[in-house]
Amino acid sequence: MTAAPTSRTGSGTTGLALYTATARRASETVIQAYSTSFGMASRLLPPGMRGDIQAVYALVRVADEIVDGPGAESGLDAAQCGEVLDALEAEVARAIATGFSADLVVHAFAETARRAGIGAEHTAPFFAAMRRDLDPVDFADERELRDYVYGSAEVVGLMCVRCFTAGRPMQDAEARRVARGARALGSAFQVVNFLRDLGADADGLGRAYLPGLDPAHPTEQAVARVLDRLEGELRIARATIPSLPAEARPAVLAAHDLFAALARRIRATPAAEPPRRRISVPAGEKAAILARAALGAGVARAGLARREQPAPVRGLAR
């Protein structure tokens, strides 16, 4: 049997490198299709780091879509959706172990995971949380909520930190501080989405994530209690951004500020409104937030470039 011809691009990329580059472009397509805020923030990252974050986002989004409607819309019941989710988790584990998958999104994630040090300690709780969504959700207490949020969102924040800090040694205390900020930011993102999507989660998916808050008739006090907690998490996350690599800070700050703006809008909205309409940040305000963060990105990258310039050799004319 003769070998298949090797594909080439104009840049000369071939074989596995071409396949991986194609897989990363597929992940970029996913984030562009599904996320305005997160996608806009990720564009403030340098290309390699941006590709890693897109790979993480794409896998998370595909898993989420299995349990959030498209699977059922295609005719699968909950048990069949669970089988698809199990197969995806198994393929992710296999790809991380071997370095290859025929699924482009999984391949891109696995390639990133192998370099960044993302492993089963991150993926197992994530898939467990996704599996929880296959049954009706009505969390009775804070413990159930926190367990779910850890798997569905906090570990995603930890994956992102691994992408930001890959190959960059950190002192143990600093690493713990950054991990705490990543978990807090992931949790805040998830909980503010619960508030924004109260109606859709309850009516469309049969889910009530927030204990003590009736999604059909939320009270001002119940919504304020949730907002107080998530805004505290946003403050924790904001305080740890300076500990991230300089080129990652503007994008994380932009994401933080976009979701903080959403939280402020929800707080300024009567509690009866979120079940009836989806609260969002206007495009103009998003653009202003991204512009401020982009300015920071330019400063950070200029500083990085200066640090990478070779020092002048003493005694030579300049």
DSSP string, 107-135: HHHHHHHHHHT--HHHHHHHHHHHHHTTS
pTM (two decimals): 0.87
pLDDT tens-digit series, residues 200-252: 888 878 889 999 999 889 999 999 999 999 999 999 999 999 999 999 999 99
Residue 103 has pLDDT above 50, yes or no: yes
C-alpha Rg value of the chain to the nearest Å: 21
Question: How far are the Cα atoms of 95, 109, 156, 167, 222 from residue 103, in angstroms, in the given order?
Answer: 9, 10, 20, 27, 43
- The confidence score (pLDDT) of residue 8 equals 47
Question: 186-208 b/e with 16+ CB inside 10 Å = b?
Answer: bbbbbbbebbbbbbbbbeebebb
Fold of 136-291: Farnesyl Diphosphate Synthase (1.10.600)
Residue 312 has pLDDT above 50, yes or no: no
Domain ranges of the chain: 18-118, 136-291
- The confidence score (pLDDT) of residue 171 equals 87
pLDDT tens-digit series, residues 247-270: 999 999 999 999 999 999 999 999
